[in-house]
Amino acid sequence: MKLNPFRIEEYYAKYEFSVQYMLSSSDAQSRKLVDLFEWEPTARKKLDDLWLGYTEAAGAPYLRETISTLYQKTRADDVLVTAAAEEAIFITYHALISSEDHVIVETPCYESALELARSTGATVSEWERYFEDSWANDFDSLIKLIRPNTKFIYINTPSNPTGTLMDKDVFVKLMALAEEQNIIVFCDEVYRELEHDPAARLPAAADLYSNAISLGSMSKSYGLPGLRLGWMICRNPEVIKKLMNFKLYTSICNSAPSEFMSDLALRHRDKLIERNLNILHHNLPLMKDFMVRHSNIFSWVEPQASPIGFPRVNVSEDIMHWCEKIAHEVGILLLPGSVYDQPRHIRISYGRSDMPEALHLLDNYLNQLAK
């Protein structure tokens, strides 16, 4: 298997723990363990007593039960728990795709979704979205990509990096097309429940179509990436079995403390989501004003979900260089769009509680440069 460098993660590894402000992070504000225990004081003692033997490969039954309640039509048996979404992406592509297959990947997307598809040796086509079209998904162009051996379509809504949602009509039509052509849909839903207007939420793919896999994670909407816990959910038992067999070669089973804490957090997820949406609703207007004040530099499609957006940047220098200069001189980390093969863009975020301070510093810096 040949894997190209994971540019997003390499860039973050270089700067994430040395800059003062993350103004591009893809996850919502995190919490301490102690905050979660406040919701269930008896849980602390239960964690102390937790048995640290191997856990059930598919995930603890109590956790799979809790995860299944996030969906309408699925049961605990339809859930496979993984070491966060990243393991799930790796497993899914390698368990379900062979080099004779054709795979369609919606882009721009989180890098591993494209790179890991390529690493299977399958033929990969990109279902591209464009800034000029407000990042909308063009259903007709998807139809043109379908081949007799198309096995699998990857989509991600709400989207990293654009923070936009797929149009509901397109989403429903895509599921119907996939069902008609017997294509598996892998829908990355790690930002589900972080729609800025909850009424805009799309149904989960796994609820709409039995050969769709919905991907979930503790990392993004819930802001708990340190738990390293995610899941796949699919109503087709054969698909779950193949994923499960592959997982026995990656992590075998999950971390018992992470399963325990994830279950606790998911049972109180309304509190996590409420706090994270409050932060977004406080910060997003500040970001919108900033975009207007610096409209000579930035233009963007306003995000509808998640803590991120993906503006186009109008500067004369290379944008990777521009972002690195800001990291060194101001201590603020922006993510250059070249890591998504979109070199005219940056990923910027508004999900952290220190975002107003960071934005103020960036504002001053850009004003100074303009003088």
Q: Is 209 in the site for ligand PLP (CB under 6 A)?
A: no
Q: Is 66 in the site for ligand PLP (CB under 6 A)?
A: no
What are the CA-CA distances from residue 156 to residues 41, 171, 298 (Å)?
36, 11, 24
Q: Per rule CB under 6 A, is residue 307 in the interface with ligand PLP?
A: no
The token pair that represents 216 in the structure block: 């979930």
Tokens representing 305? 């979900």
Q: Is 82 in the site for ligand PLP (CB under 6 A)?
A: no
Note whether 84 binds ligand PLP by CB under 6 A.
yes
By CB under 6 A, is residue 290 in contact with ligand PLP?
no
Which of 101, 106, 188, 259 contacts ligand PLP by CB under 6 A? 188
* Amino acid (1-letter code) at residue 368: Q
Least distance CB 27 / ligand PLP (angstroms): 7
Contact 336, 320 (CB under 8 A): yes
Strand residues in 39-166 grouped as ranges (E): 79-82, 102-107, 123-128, 150-156
69 DSSP assignment: T
Give the largest CA-CA distance in the chain. 63
Does 26 bind ligand PLP (CB under 6 A)? Our answer is yes
Q: How far is the CB of 316 from ligand PLP (least distance, A)?
A: 30
Q: How many helices (H) and strands (E) does the chain have?
A: 14, 14
Residues 153-172, interacting with ligand PLP (CB under 6 A):
156, 160
Q: Of 85 and 96, which CB lies nearer to ligand PLP in the complex structure?
A: 85
Structure tokens at 24: 């591009």
Candidate segments 40-48, 81-89, 200-208, 281-289, binder of ligand PLP by CB under 6 A = 81-89
**Contact status: 230 vs ligand PLP (CB under 6 A):** yes
Least Cβ distance, residue 84 to ligand PLP (angstroms) = 3
- The H-assigned helical ranges of 53-167 are 61-68, 84-96, 111-119, 139-145
Selected from 11, 12, 90, 110, the binder of ligand PLP by CB under 6 A is 110
H or E segment to which residue 188 belongs: strand 184-188
Distance CA 62, CA 57 (A): 13
The one among 125, 217, 258, 342 contacting ligand PLP by CB under 6 A: 217
- Asked if 85 touches ligand PLP (CB under 6 A), the answer is yes
Q: Which stretch binds ligand PLP (CB under 6 A): 83-91, 177-185, 247-255, 309-317?
A: 83-91
86 scored as a contact of ligand PLP (CB under 6 A): yes
Contact flag: residue 216 with ligand PLP (CB under 6 A): no
225 near ligand PLP, rule: CB under 6 A: yes
Residues touching ligand PLP, count (CB under 6 A): 13
What are the residues whose beta carbons fall under 8 Å from the beta carbon of 76, sequence distance 6 or more? 61, 64, 65, 67, 68
- Measuring CA to CA, which residue among 245, 241, 189 is closest to residue 214? 189
Binding site for ligand PLP (CB under 6 A): 26, 84-86, 110, 156, 160, 188, 190, 217, 219, 225, 230
